[in-house]
A and B are shown apart, each in its own frame.
Chain A
Amino acid sequence: MSAAPASIAWFAKHELILGWRDWVAMMTGGRRARSLGIVIFLAVVVIILHLMALGLVGPWAGRGINEDGATLVMLTGTGFLFWTIMLSQALEAVTRVYYGRSDLDLVLSSPASSRRLFAVRTGAVALTSMLLPGLLASPLINMLALLDNPRWLFAYGVVLAMGAISTAIAIGITLLLFRFVGPRQTRLIAQIVAAVVGAGFVIGIQAAAILYYGDMSRFALFQSQAIIDIAPEVDSAFWLPAKAVMGYGDALATMLVVGITALVATIALAAPSYGQHATSAAGLTHIRSARRVSRNPFKQASQRHALRRKEWRLLQRDPWLLSQTLMQILYLLPPALLLWHNFGSDAGAFVVVVPVLVMAAGQLAGGLAWLAISGEDAHDLVVTAPVSPRTVLLAKIEAVLTVILCVMAPLLLLMALSSWQMALITAFGAMLSAGSATAIQLWFRVVAKRSMFRRRQVASRAATLSEAFASIMWAGMGAMLAAGSWLAFGPAIVAVLVLCIARMLAPRRP
């Protein structure tokens, strides 16, 4: 039986079909033949994650899990970590519900109810925002259910409730932003808030762990006796989510009722104004913003410099990129803090700091390189210009690496004050990591609009995976070098192998 046209079920079916096809295209890169390979790959990943979870919770379950202060603090802290990721994702996704234009003009210009579409799309946001944290938590939940008690499976219900609460809060924040700062600024501020929320709690607990324990572990704080001592009593309502995770039916029911009621109420409250806000967001494409006139326009410059200057101007004016860069820079704060905290006293801190900086350089370079190399809005113009493709690529690579240098230089300087050898190792690792990420983006380059940045991973799984693996391996090399171990050759060789494989997998160009 098919749903009545324009009903909630009908919209939900439509969204489900689109979502499924989108996911399949993302996983297979548009090549159905890859499906079996993807299924096998996912199965292997699931098994590995479960084995890792076994190593993590196995000893804990083996000792017997008590419902004491320490357990409740650990579960609540870890749960809060997952929840901040959910909230960050929900905020980002809710802005897309308002600002994404793909089929919105069609639906809004039709006699169908925009409220129903909003209800379906926010429901989808709730589901997708709980997906990643849910998937990350599932090996832990499954292992605890297997090794300790099946009631740990109740944790999935908590994930559902947390997703609903995150989405409700995200809608609330977006509506407040629409009301107080207007549609023009809402998206940018929401993206920055999402980046800060996503990274803020992780960084906060890392910062606290560094300052009090000299350790960057996110869990050091949750295991601290001081925190356990000041935590509320075991029977306090504060522990409701933790108790729901541990399998208390009444706690789970309360969580679900609160979460689902909050989501339904927010949807009911926000749906009537959806059409109006979405329309005002659509009007933004016609708003013109004036720029300050350059003091020295049309300065004589080489073709390479003209290309570099254009890249820098575009990077500087890209709000999405700004929020992404902010996220990367936020993640650099804990290592910077660790450096400052251990200044001149603890050489061991470098073993932690060096790989974080090396990996951050690679990740940042990957994103920027995609924007500069593949995300060319005036591809035809650049190709028809009297400039060789090699010059264009060199200029774009220089533009990217200069930005990385600007971000890394202050940290390297801070490091050099403490140990110039470590600063050199970091600079060497960061150069290799950023260079590898840029090279991979170069080999797998495509012609795309800069607005496709979010979907850049879709173009090639191989590029995404090799970029991540290469960064990790260079980071590993950095850590080993910082520890003074000759084993640094190991990850370095693997990184080179990853690059060779990426080069082989990259499409051939005439």
Chain B
Amino acid sequence: MTVPALAVTSLNKSFDRPVIKQFDLTIRAGEFYALLGPNGAGKTTILRMVAGLLQPDSGGISIFGIDARRDPIAAKRVLAWVSDEPMVYDRLTPLEYLEFVAGLWQVESRQAQNKANELIDWLGLRPHANELCGGFSKGMLQKVALAGALVHDPKLIILDEPLTGLDAGSARTVKDVLLGKVREGVTVIMTTHILEVAERMAERIGVITGGRLIAEGTLAELRNRIGRESSLEDIFLDLVAQGAEEQAA
């Protein structure tokens, strides 16, 4: 049996109230997984705990068999995190940024330089490679952040609303890059409010509300669950409504 890319077991997290409750999730290696849910459902909280940005109260997180809570450094070596707010320095150029990221992940220098140049070209950043990021548009910043996530060849990429605020062209580039990575065997987990993106790109979709996973499967499996031929939007709204009723009961 192959080791899952991500295995989350009985994860719990509370702030002033419980936000994640006994959360379980298993994602296969090389899978494109979309995590959907209404605002405040807990999607970002879960992904931030997986990426090591938040400490869970209890539960287990295993990334390619590495216990991320016991050996976070080893787990971080194989993952990349991209948020909706690009984590880029205003006063570094894209190439300097990639040099910094490569330094953090200890990528061998020649390999890092080749990879950075390849990504810069792939993402259409070549004319701006030596300009400070401070003047870049949101789309360009997100491309720089994505390049940073890919420069160290991660096995698992976690993206939190990566397409927010991007124009059609930039969004298409990001989607193409992610699909290309999945074809290479990389695992991608993404949250999005753009259901059409999840419908077209994801192999499996998880729906979360109130900190619980209420449904999971391929689009066809989710359609079967609500018992009619519908769009993902209809399925999502039905599932969220059902979930809310169950929680209220």
Contact = CB atoms under 8 A, between A and B. Distances in A.
Contact of A287 (B74, B100, B116, B135): B135
A387 B101 CA distance: 11
Interface string A375-403: 00111111111111000000000000000
Contact of B128 (A288, A299, A310): A288
Interface residues of B, number: 44
A300 interface: yes
B91 A314 contact: yes
A377 B88 contact: yes
B131 A290 contact: yes
Which of B52, B81, B93, B105 gathers most chain A CB within 10 Å? B93
B73 interface: yes
Nearest to A378: B87
B88 A383 contact: no
A111 interface: no
Interface of A: 285-294, 297-303, 305-307, 309-310, 313-314, 317-318, 377-388, 510
Contacts, number: 115
A294 B73 CA distance: 30
Contacts of B131: 288-291
A289 B87 contact: no
B123 interface: no
Contact of A298 (B52, B105, B106, B116): B116
Contact of A510 (B53, B55, B80): B55
Contact of A381 (B102, B110, B128, B148): B148
A377 B91 CA distance: 10
A301 B76 CA distance: 19
Contacts of B148: 381
A313 B96 contact: yes
A290 B93 CA distance: 8
B91 A386 contact: no
Contact of B87 (A292, A293, A379): A379
A280 B99 CA distance: 33
B90 interface: yes
B103 A306 contact: yes
Given A293-B130, A377-B90, A386 B99 contact: no
Contact of A314 (B80, B92, B130): B92
Given A298-B113, A377-B88, A380-B81, A303 B99 contact: no
Contacts of A317: 91, 132
Contacts of B135: 285-289
A294 B96 CA distance: 9
B104 interface: yes
For the complex of A and B, the 3 pairs showing the least CB-CB separation, nearest first, are: A306-B103, A288-B135, A378-B87
B208 interface: no
Contacts of B99: 294, 297-298, 306
Interface in B104-151: 104-106, 108-110, 112-113, 116, 128, 130-132, 134-137, 148
B175 interface: no
A384 B101 contact: no
Contacts of B116: 298
B79 interface: yes
Contacts of A309: 100, 103
Contacts of A285: 134-135
A310 B100 contact: yes
Given A288-B135, A377-B87, A377-B88, A388 B130 contact: no
Interface in B60-98: 73-74, 76-77, 79-81, 83, 87-93, 95-96
Contacts of A297: 95-96, 99, 113
25 contacts: A286-B135, A287-B135, A288-B128, A288-B134, A288-B135, A289-B132, A290-B130, A290-B132, A294-B96, A298-B102, A302-B103, A303-B104, A305-B103, A306-B104, A307-B104, A314-B89, A377-B88, A378-B87, A380-B81, A382-B104, A383-B52, A384-B80, A385-B101, A386-B105, A510-B55
A175 to B, nearest CB: 25
Given A378-B87, A381-B101, A386-B105, A298 B112 contact: yes
A55 to B, nearest CB: 48
Given A303-B104, A306-B103, A380-B83, A387 B73 contact: yes
Contacts of A294: 95-96, 99
B113 to A, nearest CB: 4
Contacts of A287: 135
A449 to B, nearest CB: 9
A149 B112 CA distance: 76
Contacts of B134: 285, 288-289
Which of A289, A298, A301, A377 gathers most chain B CB within 10 Å? A298
B104 A386 contact: yes
A384 to B, nearest CB: 4
Contacts of B55: 510
Given A288-B136, A384-B76, A386-B76, A301 B103 contact: yes
B51 interface: yes
A306 B109 CA distance: 12
Given A293-B95, A293-B130, 13 more contacts: A288-B132, A289-B132, A291-B96, A291-B130, A298-B99, A299-B109, A303-B104, A307-B104, A314-B89, A377-B88, A380-B53, A381-B104, A387-B104
Contacts of B88: 377-378
A291 B93 CA distance: 7
Contacts of A378: 87-89
Contact of A310 (B81, B89, B106): B89
B113 A383 contact: no
A332 B130 CA distance: 36
Contacts of B93: 291
Given A298-B113, A380-B81, A386-B74, A291 B132 contact: yes
Which of A294, A302, A307, A384 gathers most chain B CB within 10 Å? A384
A297 to B, nearest CB: 6
A318 B89 CA distance: 11
A33 B188 CA distance: 47
Nearest to A286: B135
Nearest to B109: A300
Which of B89, B116, B148 gathers most chain A CB within 10 Å? B89
A382 B110 CA distance: 22
Nearest to A296: B109
Nearest to B50: A384
